[in-house]
Amino acid sequence: MNENRIPPQIYVLWVFQSLSLFGSSVMFFAMNVWLTQVLYPHPEQGDALARAITLAALVFILPHIVLGPWAGVLADRFNRGRIMLVCDLLSGLLATVVAAGMFTGVLNLPQYLLLGGLMGCVGAVHGMAYFTVPPLLAGASVLARISGLFRSTWSMANLLAPMFAAALISVQEAHQAEAAQTLSWAILLDAITFLLAGLVMLFVKVPDASAHNTLQKEPLLQSLKPAWTYILSQKFLLQLFTLVSLVGLLYAPVVVTYPLVARHQVQGFDYSFSYATLNVLLALGGMLGGFLTFLGKEQTHWFRSIVLPMIGVGVGFLITGSSTQLWGVGAGVLLSALMVPIYGSHYYALWQKAVPQDMQGRVFGLLRVTGQAIHPAGIALAGVLTQTFSIQGLMLGSGGLILMLIVLGLPALWKSNQTLRKQLS
């Protein structure tokens, strides 16, 4: 295997898993439209609609938080390619059931929450297997580039999926078709992309990392103990994990408040145009950051590849908070969004290089509990902060806190880095 070359299997995975991600993004958008236009269309149903949207989000998010460590055990215990195959096919089946129920008009909220919860559970297991496949197929020197390629897809799907779903709804309105029947085709699209992604895994040969461990004979809880021990022994990586998590916790509530930035901070344009522009810049920044990481040369030093981009996030927030003009606010949003996939890709690649391959599922399963919990925690934190501070004050304060955390954390990181360098050499 050429250590400096991304193997063709990675590109095959990326193309078909990207299609599946796009299909899922279309589905989530369509489901929100179904809730607002079909299930709770009347103004007096606003409270019920808010509860339904919250519950629908939770049934997809909570399994990733709760099941993360156990999904990691499965990724270490069985062949990760086969796990992806089974999960993709199961997700396609569940999406087909949702589409059929919506088309026939029999789907109700409890049924959707049940099916959505099952899809969340399957997605948690699939995500952990997918995340730990690249180190089995590619050399350590290209892992950050692969991560950047994968991350660009998330932003691309967030940008394109609502446009596609909105176009589908426009077609429905033009032909005066039933909303539920039209939206069911968007769900069916998701099912088809899952099916394609699963069938491709029949032809992608993923090495079996589980061949070198004895997890088959261990209870699930006991299987996690070596992963805990490993994480706690990695002083530098644990310090870096703490810093990245804190930056993520500050980033999440700021991004959630962009609608308020468009409404109360930006001057000279109406709300719809301002919010749409900030949304496009947010997605565009994430997409460009991922592609720049993929196309660029792998940065091997943690300060240049991780810390400097995190500083860029803080500076982006300061720019956003210091302007009332759309071009200034937009520049800050673009800069901060651009930096996130750059430092995120190199950060995860650093862990992937350090963690033994037959332990990566469990280690990342434990670590990603924090990562998955940051977004809902950020939403809750945003509600508190926006009642206490002005929008510009929140932006400036978050940017300043990020820079302060980096300055305070750097001495400890420099000191403990020598241990990791010896381990990787």
CATH number, domain with residue 165: 1.20.1250.20
In a domain, 5, yes or no: yes
**Cα-based torsion angle of the residue sequence 9, 11, 13, 17 in order, rounded to the nearest 10 degrees:** 180
On whether the CB atoms of residues 195 and 92 are closer than 8 A, the answer is: yes
In a domain, 229, yes or no: yes
pLDDT at 208: 83
In a domain, 210, yes or no: no
pLDDT at 372: 80
- Beta bridge partners, 267, equal 325
On whether the CB atoms of residues 363 and 353 are closer than 8 A, the answer is: no
pLDDT at 260: 83
pLDDT at 169: 66
Show the tokens assigned to 95. 């999406």
Question: Which H or E element spans position 85?
Answer: helix 80-104
Domain boundary among 174, 189, 222: 222
Q: Are residues 18 and 144 in the same domain?
A: yes
CA distance 231 to 367: 9
On whether the CB atoms of residues 98 and 122 are closer than 8 A, the answer is: no
> First-to-last CA distance in the chain?
19
Domain boundary among 193, 222, 251: 222
Q: Are residues 22 and 136 in the same domain?
A: yes
3-class state of residue 267 by DSSP:
strand
pLDDT at 196: 95
Show the tokens assigned to 213. 């461990």
Q: Are residues 150 and 7 in the same domain?
A: yes
The H-assigned helical ranges of 257-298 are 258-260, 271-295
Q: Are residues 43 and 166 in the same domain?
A: yes
Show the tokens assigned to 415. 């000191």
Q: Are residues 299 and 230 in the same domain?
A: yes
pLDDT at 375: 74
Q: What is the CA radius of gyration of the chain?
A: 22
In a domain, 122, yes or no: yes
Residue 325 DSSP one-character state: B
Contacts of 249 (CB under 8 A, 6+ apart): 374, 377, 378, 381
Residue count (the chain)? 425
The H-assigned helical ranges of 105-234 are 109-131, 134-137, 143-174, 179-200, 220-223, 225-233
Q: Are residues 187 and 240 in the same domain?
A: no
Q: Are residues 240 and 191 in the same domain?
A: no
What are the two backbone dihedrals, phi and then psi, of residue 29, each rounded to the nearest 5 degrees?
-65, -45
pLDDT at 122: 96
In a domain, 289, yes or no: yes
Q: Are residues 192 and 272 in the same domain?
A: no
In a domain, 389, yes or no: yes
Q: Are residues 247 and 277 in the same domain?
A: yes
Q: Are residues 184 and 300 in the same domain?
A: no
Domain span holding position 13: 1-204+216-222
For the chain, which residues score pLDDT lower than 70? 1-3, 169, 171-179, 210-218, 419-425
CA distance 241 to 279: 28
In a domain, 425, yes or no: yes
Helix axes 235-256, 326-354, angle to 10 degrees: 150
Cα 224–Cα 226–Cα 227 angle in degrees, nearest 5:
65
- Beta bridge partners, 325, equal 267
Domain boundary among 168, 196, 222: 222
Q: Which of 80, 34, 77 minimizes the C-alpha distance to 205? A: 80
How many domains does the structure of the chain reveal? 2
In a domain, 189, yes or no: yes
On whether the CB atoms of residues 224 and 71 are closer than 8 A, the answer is: no
- Alpha-carbon distances, residue 350 vs 160, 403, 424 (angstroms): 30, 22, 10
Q: Are residues 66 and 153 in the same domain?
A: yes
Q: Which sign does the torsion angle of CA 105, 103, 120, 257 carry? A: negative
Q: pLDDT digit string (tens) for 43-64? A: 777 778 878 888 888 888 889 8
Q: Are residues 327 and 401 in the same domain?
A: yes
Q: Which sign does the torsion angle of CA 144, 150, 154, 155 carry? A: positive
